[in-house]
Amino acid sequence: MKQTPTDQSHSSLVTYADLAGQVAIVTGSATGIGLAITSALLGQGCHVVMIDLDETALDRSLAKINRPNDTCAITGSVADPDIIQKACDAAITRWGRLDILVNNAGIFANFSSLELTLQDWQRTMDVNLTGTFVCTQTAAKHMVSSGKGTIINLSSIYGTVAAPKRAAYAATKAAVAMLTKVWAVEWAKEGIRVNAVAPGYVGTEGTLELQNQGKIDIAAIAQRTPQGRIGEPEEIANSVLFLASSAASHITGQVLGVDGGWTAYGYL
């Protein structure tokens, strides 16, 4: 494992030699954390099937990445079993294997519990929870038959600590943390490791939209974070690389907080 610090950001570039040539599916990969994870995996020599609901953003990111031999894009929802089957088939047809699934696609639902509509509740469940289940079940069938694989789920600080107006979101992220443990123990003997990353606030399009809607205050959040800043998508991507690599070979069923100290902090 070679480590080269960069001075451009708070993240560092680490090379995990075993990831080269592996095939990954990354959901919600047109923007934000998913795009950073995709770029990080490509940087390790992986091939990536990108899935996203937003075709325009997906096309834009594909053009920017410009790695047609190493990427493949599927437009559709993580909650649609046909789309996910298509993505798994694409990985196998194109590169003959499927090693890594990153369940990143997720939506925020910051509504007062008195005003949260059943439609918004259901939509959040569909994407964050059912989507994670559908992708995992479909990918795990390939992984079980090949006797190896690693799955990384995106939970959140709100999978373990509470905040007002997060009923649907927090419920899904807590469920994702528990699914991580269930699948880890269910498939450990099949050679599959399942872990989750639980980010604090990260600077992405999703976070920016919440800020623009007046639903969060990024300056206040940064101040409340022991490190004094929010995270960068690349910092979440780095933790995903570690968990996907053989450097984490004995780690399964864990939820790794990547939050600048947010959940450890018990003061103001």
Ligand X SMILES: NC(=O)c1ccc[n+]([C@@H]2O[C@H](COP(=O)([O-])OP(=O)(O)OC[C@H]3O[C@@H](n4cnc5c(N)ncnc54)[C@H](O)[C@@H]3O)[C@@H](O)[C@H]2O)c1
Say whether residue 57 binds ligand X (CB under 6 A). Answer: yes
Q: 46, 48, 50, 52: which one contacts ligand X (CB under 6 A)? A: 52
169 is annotated as an active-site residue: yes
Q: Provide, rounded to whole angstroms, the least separation between the CB of residue 5 and ligand X.
A: 24
Considering 16, 169, 201, 267, which one is annotated as catalytic? 169
| Pairing mode, strands 2-5 and 12-15 | antiparallel
115-144: contacts with ligand X (CB under 6 A) = 127, 131
Provide the minimum distance between the beta carbon of 4 and ligand X in the complex, in angstroms, as a whole number: 25
Query: Residue 45 or residue 212: which is nearer to ligand X going by CB?
Result: 212
Provide the minimum distance between the beta carbon of 104 and ligand X in the complex, in angstroms, as a whole number: 5
Q: Verify binding: residue 154, ligand X, rule CB under 6 A.
A: yes
Task: Restricting to residues 8-37, name those near ligand X by CB under 6 A.
Answer: 27-28, 30-34
110 or 146, CB closer to ligand X?
A: 110
Binding window for ligand X (CB under 6 A); candidates: 5-13, 42-50, 101-109, 182-190: 101-109
**Interface pattern 184-203 for ligand X (x via CB under 6 A):** ---------------x-xx-
Report the interface residues with ligand X, using CB under 6 A: 27-28, 30-34, 51-54, 57, 77-79, 104-107, 127, 131, 154, 156, 199, 201-202, 204-207
Active site members? 169
